[in-house]
Chain A
């Protein structure tokens, strides 16, 4: 079982990203669940959501305490949230940034500027750049699911081609 924790802020689409990730894994023939942690969240507050991917049905409903991977959609949450909490030794970190943010040794860090891509592709809703579709492209590049399944997971939710364009750009631009 591969366990992923996503850090974002309310309204940034972290929950939808989790759903598309799980959906893409299922299209690859895997089993997956996606769940948000519901607290007293509101727009702009730090939130987490979880994805579990396995070769057999997922029977666990409790929260992920020792993730194999963390995804940081909004690096500013790191000011108040310990995003590395419980991350396994050798675990993966994917972060949305154009800076070369340094993490403690022992983790595999990859990054891409999803916000920059969203702005460039004019993928903006209510004044905010959309991060949840470009991140799918980046994660396909990291091998979480195939590129084809990632595209299908996006298009079954979002028909606007700017979403898949941004995902393709993120796929190409990930720095591993």
Chain B
């Protein structure tokens, strides 16, 4: 094992992007993502990274520049957060629709008003229908490793869809943990974009796609999303084989004999493991399913006979928590206690999560911090 480095989640994502050798990085700074692109700008300025760094005037332009660069068949990286992601919204659809394997570091942050820079998942979840693959990570090492894997998955010709790596603002973007900066070697094969611009074989891009063909393009995207499940499994298996660190679409902790399972994304899903340990000492058979890949959505959750306590760090007004709602839609028999917690960076500890489990009322929604009579 090589030496462990103390670094933030932001630094690890930047380092992984450097390892992947993108040719173009176009980005706009926003708290708490800024450190990612500052670090990359430093790499480029010092010559450590042989990439064209394009500072732009907005996130919309950042994604547009990424799209323009990507269509020439080169590897492209960017990063954003929160309002920056929302400002990209139109171009997120375009990147996925044009089947461009752009990789983006996305630091999860609350949406205003009022202004709030802390962790929440509403930013990324509001973009869940854009056609991007979405993965949520929980440690600095996982942020690094998953960024490496993201390039290989996005660029696989069975997929050719962009990938968004989500990490919790400050909680992970700014925490320092020891990690191994593994050299990927040939783990990420050269990009071979079939539809790239070729001056010797001119094609039209972004042409009219009338109603008798457009649905075919959209179904092709869905086929690619479905195929990405296989590609993710293969890539995570190959990563484990080469580098010894095991990742799965859902990270499971003590679930096999569990009667009750906490389901969460990101750092909440990691700290939930400590809640499960605490509950098991009390005789409650608890486990954790930390969903990593939310798009494509996991279809093989083993939840039969288990109570699920789903923690949503997000909300869809007039509906409910997004993750709980999606699980219920795909698994109609699932028994779910829906918890809304961590909104706007609200502090949620493993002790709080253990309390969610102890007090769970299946089939109900509970907003952490709101008095019972107002629920």
Contacts and interface: CB of A to CB of B under 8 A. Distances in A.
B176 A62 contact: no
Contacts of A167: none
Given A26-B4, A38-B170, A62 B175 contact: no
Interface stretch (B58-66, B194-202, B270-278): B270-278
A59 B270 CA distance: 6
A36 B302 CA distance: 37
A60 B274 contact: yes
B350 A36 contact: no
B6 interface: yes
A58 B273 contact: no
Contacts of B139: 57
Interface in B226-262: none
A61 B172 contact: yes
A36 B171 CA distance: 9
A38 B118 CA distance: 8
B126 interface: no
Nearest to B277: A59
Given A61-B171, A62-B348, A22 B176 contact: yes
Interface in B168-201: 168, 170-172, 174-178
Given A22-B176, A38-B174, A61 B4 contact: no
Interface residues of B, number: 25
Interface of A: 18-19, 22-23, 26, 31-36, 38, 57-63, 65
A22 B168 CA distance: 21
B173 to A, nearest CB: 10
Interface of B: 4, 6, 32, 117-118, 139, 168, 170-172, 174-178, 267-268, 270-271, 273-274, 347-350
A59 B174 contact: no
Contacts of B118: 38
A38 B8 CA distance: 14
B176 A34 contact: yes
A23 B175 contact: no
B271 A61 contact: yes
DSSP majority for the A interface? mixed
Given A32-B178, A33-B175, A34-B176, A62 B117 contact: no
Nearest to A1: B274
Given A33-B176, A38-B174, 15 more contacts: A18-B176, A19-B176, A22-B6, A26-B178, A32-B178, A59-B271, A59-B274, A61-B168, A61-B172, A61-B267, A62-B347, A62-B348, A62-B349, A62-B350, A65-B349
A151 to B, nearest CB: 15
20 contacts: A19-B6, A19-B176, A22-B6, A22-B178, A23-B176, A33-B176, A33-B177, A34-B175, A35-B174, A35-B176, A38-B32, A38-B118, A38-B174, A57-B139, A60-B274, A60-B350, A61-B168, A61-B171, A61-B267, A61-B271
Contacts of A34: 6, 175-176
Nearest to B345: A38
A65 B350 CA distance: 12
Contacts of A35: 170-171, 174-176
Contact of A61 (B32, B175, B178): B175
Contacts of B350: 60, 62
A44 B168 CA distance: 27
Contacts of B271: 59-62
B6 A59 contact: no
B6 A26 contact: yes
A91 to B, nearest CB: 19
